[in-house]
Structure 1
């Protein structure tokens, strides 16, 4: 299929079709050709609308951040499978709704305020003057897929939100009683008495019958069922298979050297100082002052400008081409006035480091590797063509591989996730190859598919082993252990419940514990800060301890295999001075937490107030995926999804 597409793309029919598409785009626009004039929005929030192009920019920025965190590329398919497209869409919808609500209630920053805020952003400063540069501002926005009006809307929303948040936060402080309750909750300590019920205190269960094990297997069929396995025959077309033995043409090597030598050579560098001046007369005066030994910085300061220092820079690093030409013409130590494209200047060259031209022998290994890589790619293409021609002519995979002089190898048994019979990863597979393999029937053969990095593959499904439960005899030892453990836990729980009932009726912990030969232990002064350091009680027991009332009796998992019967013996509130101190110290954090909740509620209210709507399928189309339901989002507003 891949090679057929290549051939078709070179044909006259493809050229005519491309020409017709170009005419269609010119007459009707790209969106109209593909969408038929349907809605092009991903989010609408009152007067605000987020187009598919805007959403794609937001999604791409989010994906780049996610890729940096996980350290690997994230495809649109992977992102959608993990709900990232929906997450970004909802975040955009929340932001746009809140911005629309702020505008409706009159929180609107003035144009002059937005201008001042923009001019504070260092990314838009000219490196020479250190001031806001309007041209640089426009270029930086363009590089990030933004326009000044669009960016200023974002700035306006941020400033408005910050002003509202500051006004609310400055007047918000939670009551002391509120933080006092939190302090009491966090600082109260508890005492618990307990004893352990272990397997020695119950009758061991008898070994299970095969019927019982079969029933256990059925109950856990989802966990025990083995996945489908497939055995594959694979043909791989890889540059590494052919690159090592490819000869290097000396003429091609020389040609590549001539083309690359300038970029691989080390250019001449110079250190110099440049002082901007307003005219030729000023240039002559500054040159004279430099010649007398006056410091460039002092001269520049007296003129109200900044001296520009270039330290070991190539000619291309100098902003003004004419100044660069003059600087790389002067001998070291010389001073010269220059009329550049950006105005007059005076330069003084202090250091010259000669360049070094790279020789063919110095970069021969690198160039030979490049040539072999290119030749290998061409050879792989020829091999795929030979295979595709044979396969298209009726030959099977093995016969086609033989005609293309490409080896075949067997993979598997392997699951759709790439694991073998032992559960370990199988070498030689990747997600794309597995997807192809598990989309074919037994005996089915794929076309030549691209694997990435210049590699291709074709495969045949030799055998399919359907998913199934293993034979009982094969997993009987494991099932016996599980069954015995489960029955033991049931008996322990029954015993612990009976003992706990005796304590609840009035018997002491000591008396009940002694009846099974156990001893009572006590954990005192447990609070929510030190509970994590407790090694005597299990996590389950600690959770139940903090959920119990004073005097309550309960059972919980023990720290070792078994259960504990426990009684909460005391609850102590923190002392007055400590409570007062913690109450005051926690007020800022509690206030901040309350403010975050208010902010979240305000954003939810904004979505309702402005009737924000999202178009999930348009979001999928924006990132290059097919809509889940092509009819949805493509008809009219009645199919919109209201948040």
Structure 2
């Protein structure tokens, strides 16, 4: 199989196709459509490099997955790009470590496994079956060699060998399942006293002198962001499609050569008799057989349908179903109608509605649709085919021209008949238009594009759109004047003072609690601002109690059991408030589990345990392995921390 693939195919395949493999460790060794002019490694694992281009492609893929998940509701602020980059790099390092571990243990992947994986890719299917022609076309279009694809798949499967071995060896005992069920269903009784940040924000004062002093001491916090204005050319399949002109002669020739693709649907004038199935199916089958014999002996199908058919709608018209098109009826009846000859009566047919007898009275043979009815459809098909062919030609020309003319866009624009456009005010973290794409921003501030003022390599915004960018204007960070940031500084100082006040009060209250005070008594303090404290009475809650704040709930159920009185704890809340909680009682009764629930909980617990064991294994593997992470001086240092 693999040799057959190699004999028939040449080319690359984009990561968009590879991800459809649905392998947890997919996308190793992905190359961009065009080779870059540099191949800086972002990491090295046991001597094996993880290239910058592979890393950027993986990052872009992850980013786009989040975009697709949220659709129109997507907001770039949802993504912490530094954290996402760190996660992507960690994942790529993990994959390399697992592959090396599998190779060290001399694990192997058979050729047949690789073949099966290739055959399972839906992108290579037509009509639900693997298509060598489609496979060949996709590979040729993307210019990836079959051996490269096979090697990527083999490495993916090798990585899975180690993970599967760990996951499949995990187990939990019945006692552990019962204990976890008891913990999950545990209830705790507590009360809360909350100290409000907002109350203090409204009361603290900030002087102009404090604003000026803070500004002078923290001027680096009040700079305009570094930004660039980007010139760019964009090549998209949509734009190419609009350029395609298909003549009337070409449309008519295509119609004449493939009229069978533009046929009217066949239809058949049909009748049926339906007997529904009750408790005695055999008796119903015998009855429908008897009706068929009576029809064969010359009795009228229409009269028998009117008398016996339980399809009340058609029975009144002699069982008429009217003109039936393919797939109009349930599958078994539909197949029979389109296999019968005119006047022929079917054998009894079983469907979800009962038993049928079917007769075809007339067959309307399909004819080619008139040219005028399909002309626009044919033109659109030809336009799409020609646009795709021409688009891939232009992609190659774009890559070659960008490489041959690295210091200007005019040649590239003239060669491809593209307009040079501009997007202004692009920072490392945000931008408009094409600069909403994180890879565009990454390239815009790279050494090559910003430092050397060269054109970028073609950047793939999606599978049908490429851009080449060039820095037009570089805006260095500038100091923002005090008058522009005074309100911002004042708000920062007010928050800082208020947080200090809240924390100080919470600590003071905690000291009183530890000295045998109770939460209700603390409400009567004379030195506490009005409305600064909010008390919640004692209540029993479970882990998933409706209305229980998740942050409070997590801390509450991690507290040690109370001993000789309530146990107290102080918690900083996400909104800046502080809470003092008193844990009074814990319900630790055991839980009776039905057998099916016990099995379900055991499966869940085994899954969680196996994931934990796998993560621990990977962490230890990384600790003892030779892993080096590299980065450019302009990159975020925390991005590549090990």
When the two structures are superposed, what TM-score results if normalisation uses the length of structure 1?
0.49
Structure with bigger gyration radius: 1
When the two structures are superposed, what TM-score results if normalisation uses the length of structure 2?
0.49
